[in-house]
Amino acid sequence: MTAPREPLSRERVVAAALAVIDRSGMNGCSMRAVAGELGVEAMSLYHHVPGGKDEMIDGVVALVQTEFIESLDMTDEWREDMASFARAYRLALSSHPNVVAMIAARPSVAYRSSTSLVGSLFDSMEAAGFPRSDALRAVRVVSRWTIGFTLGEASALEDGEAAADFDEPLLVEVFTDIAKGEDDVFEFGLEALLRGLEARLTA
């Protein structure tokens, strides 16, 4: 006897769209491709994402955002929480590199999906003495920097250039450093941002 098929839902459609994007990129994500992933007809998807592909992509952005946010354990200590946020965000984006540009292009969706985290970061920064306006901008800066870093990181890895490909000493230095990996560079930049915020707090 054949097992009953799991009912189609918005959550399943969005998860299938993410799987297609992870495998084939944004250009490979169509209603037909997602339907094929689920083993259904493309028209049946519109019952769950009436807005079609745009709504489906918004759902993918929200899914990636909420998955990493729900895994975070905030401590109410702004510096530690901001660092944890940036590291977890980078990990989530690195796991779905084809989604990074989509998140950058849909900031309103990304922010709506992360209000619970953003609110707690605002609160811990205000408790430490930051004005509300500084807290808001700090979260935005760290978020955008992490997105930009991850996007650049993926591009650098795809570039394929090596230090041996260059005669110019400066380029040899740059690509020798790239070959070491990006973890230290990320931590360097994150520490610079956090120290800058600390300096602003004590100024």
Q: Which residue range is the domain that position 168 belongs to? A: 73-202
- Residue 67 near residue 124 (C-beta atoms within 8 A): no
Residue 14 lies in a domain: no
pLDDT band at 152 (very low <50, low <70, confident <90, very high): confident
pLDDT digits (tens, 9 = 90+) for 81-136: 999 999 999 999 999 999 999 998 998 888 888 887 788 888 999 999 999 999 99
- H/E element holding 186? helix 183-202
Residue 35's pLDDT is 96
Residue 84 lies in a domain: yes
Residue 46 lies in a domain: no
Residue 141 lies in a domain: yes
Between 89 and 1, the more confident residue is: 89
Measured CA to CA, the distance from residue 196 to residue 35 in angstroms comes to 48
CATH code for the domain in which residue 129 is found: 1.10.357.10
Residue 28 lies in a domain: no
**What is the number of structural domains in the chain?**
1
Looking at residue 4, the DSSP 8-state letter turns out to be: P
Residue 61 lies in a domain: no
pTM for this entry = 0.85
Average of per-residue pLDDT across 138-163:
79
Residue 160's pLDDT is 53
**Nearest CA among 71, 60, 137, 139 for reference residue 100:** 60
